[in-house]
Amino acid sequence: QKEVEQDPGPLSVPEGAIVSLNCTYSNSAFQYFMWYRQYSRKGPELLMYTYSSGNKEDGRFTAQVDKSSKYISLFIRDSQPSDSATYLCAMNYGGATNKLIFGTGTLLAVQP
Amino acid sequence: GAVVSQHPSWVICKSGTSVKIECRSLDFQATTMFWYRQFPKQSLMLMATSNEGSKATYEQGVEKDKFLINHASLTLSTLTVTSAHPEDSSFYICSAGEASGGAAKQYFGPGTRLTVT
């Protein structure tokens, strides 16, 4: 079993839809949870960064962490064609020297 | 947000030659940098963790003599692919950890596309 599971998609939605992206994980020691967006042939861009359980909102993006269920989500409201990218969840135990454990990424296509 | 640069952005080399890729944190100091490779339509694969002033820690299956990593300063890490072969062709990405209160946000560079002919 992988430490982090993520549905690879592809996920196709119409412009303006609410998008829900999810990851599950197996290691309860993970403390920090991140979502990255990666456009084709580019490096990942940090979108959301959360610690422990709860919600965090930034513009059209909302990140949720449920540590009791070992489940994290990213919601995108009013999705735009420019949101079309691969979304990667990542997590670690904390600390500057700790490596990230990534999901496989979900390819999202927002149709105009 | 923090900025990480990589140079070159793409490189083509002949089989048997060596290629050096630089990773710089432009507006913060990074005691730890990470090197990844990514194949088309696949997720990131961690190759090694690079700590300033010490030897890198390589992931299982990554040849340390082939992928030389040097982290000479708090803002610069380099990856050298020695005696490159076509199977080394890939997208190489670095990230740098910005420490804050015990946690760390990792920021990624734009990546370097290596093609070995």
- From A33's Cα to the closest Cα of chain B, the distance in A is 10
Report the percentage of chain A scoring pLDDT > 70.
Answer: 96
pLDDT of amino acid B99 = 66
pLDDT of amino acid A19 = 97
Which of residues 81 through 110 in chain B touch A, CB cutoff 8 A?
A: 91, 93, 95, 97-99, 102-110
> Which residues, including other chains, have CB under 8 Å from residue B60's CB and lie 6 or more apart?
none
Provide the residue-wise pLDDT of chain B in tens; the chain has 117 residues: 689 999 999 999 999 999 999 999 998 888 889 999 998 888 899 999 988 888 899 999 999 999 999 988 889 999 999 999 999 999 999 999 876 655 568 899 999 999 999
> Which residues, including other chains, have CB under 8 Å from residue B73's CB and lie 6 or more apart?
B52
Q: Which of A51, A99, A106 to mutate to test the interface with B (most CBs of B within 10 A)?
A: A99
Nearest CA-CA partner of B81 in B94, B64, B93, B101? B64
One-letter amino acid for residue A109 of the chain? A
For chain B, say whether A105 makes contact (Cβ under 8 Å).
yes
Inter-chain residue contact A46 with B106, CB threshold 8 Å: yes
- From A44's Cα to the closest Cα of chain B, the distance in A is 6
Q: Token pair of B53, please?
A: 């002033």
Provide the pairing of β-strand A61-66 with A54-58: antiparallel
Q: How far is CA A9 from CA A22, A72, A78, B15, B16, in A?
A: 11, 16, 20, 36, 38
Model pLDDT for residues A52-93, shown as the tens digit of each residue: 788 999 999 999 999 999 999 999 999 999 999 999 999 988
- From A66's Cα to the closest Cα of chain B, the distance in A is 19
User: What is the rounded average pLDDT of the residues A17-36?
Assistant: 94
What is the Cα–Cα distance from B5 to A43, expressed in whole angstroms?
10
What DSSP string runs through B7-66?
E-SEEEE-TT--EEEEEEESSS--SEEEEEEE-TTS--EEEEEEETTS--EEPTT--TTT
DSSP B104: E
pLDDT of amino acid B51 = 85
pLDDT of amino acid A83 = 98
Placement of tokens 């042939």 in the chain: A41
Inter-chain residue contact A99 with B91, CB threshold 8 Å: no
User: What is the rounded average pLDDT of the residues A23-36?
Assistant: 93
One-letter amino acid for residue B71 of the chain? H
Q: How far is CA B39 from CA A17, A94, B1, in A?
A: 30, 27, 27
Q: Token pair of A111, please?
A: 């149709």
Phi, psi values for residue A83, rounded to 5°: -80, -10
What is the Cα–Cα distance from B6 to B18, expressed in whole angstroms?
17
User: What is the rounded average pLDDT of the residues A12-32?
Assistant: 95
